[in-house]
């Protein structure tokens, strides 16, 4: 893990950009992962679960839908942020005509017992 502050430039390329890794051989963090996602019109990131992690999405450009499970959807896009709790199946879909660009940050969620212990 890096013991230094990191400053990372966001690129403007039409592609995924890894920002922070917390799980590889030489991680940047104690467990947080982050990246910049770029979805073309009609694309989605693919349905997946947060598992034991929580996720923050910060939308930088475009518009789309945050799909939760099979029954819920929320409008997302430039100027919005979304929190997704642990054990949540979700997907992000670009519903606009321009790219949907967002930064995600994923971190291990503490158990309720650990949260109570730290108080």
pTM: 0.84
Give me the residues paired with residue 36 across strands. 17, 103
Q: Which two tokens stand for residue 12?
A: 């403007």
Give me the residues paired with residue 2 across strands. none
Q: Does residue 49 sit in helix, strand or coil? A: strand
Greater confidence (5 vs 118) lies with: 5
Which CATH number does the domain 17-117 belong to among 3.30.413.10, 3.40.50.1100, 2.60.120.10, 1.10.3720.10?
Answer: 2.60.120.10
Q: Measure the CA–CA gap between 77 and 115, rounded to whole angstroms.
A: 32
What's the pLDDT tens digit per position in 68-117?
999 999 999 999 999 999 999 999 999 999 999 999 999 998 876 555 55
For CA atoms 65, 47, 51, 32, the dihedral sign is negative
């Amino acid at each position: 893990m890096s013991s230094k502050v990191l400053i990372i430039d966001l690129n403007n390329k039409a592609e995924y950009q890894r920002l922070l890794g917390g799980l590889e051989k030489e991680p940047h963090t104690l467990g947080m992962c982050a990246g910049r996602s770029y979805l073309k019109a009609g694309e989605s990131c693919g349905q997946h679960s947060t598992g034991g992690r929580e996720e923050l999405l910060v939308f930088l450009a475009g518009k789309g839908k945050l799909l939760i499970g099979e029954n819920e959807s929320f409008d997302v896009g430039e100027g919005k942020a979304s929190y997704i709790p642990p054990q949540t199946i979700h997907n992000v879909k670009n519903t606009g005509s321009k790219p949907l660009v967002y930064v995600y940050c994923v971190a291990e969620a503490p158990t309720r017992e650990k949260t109570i212990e730290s108080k």
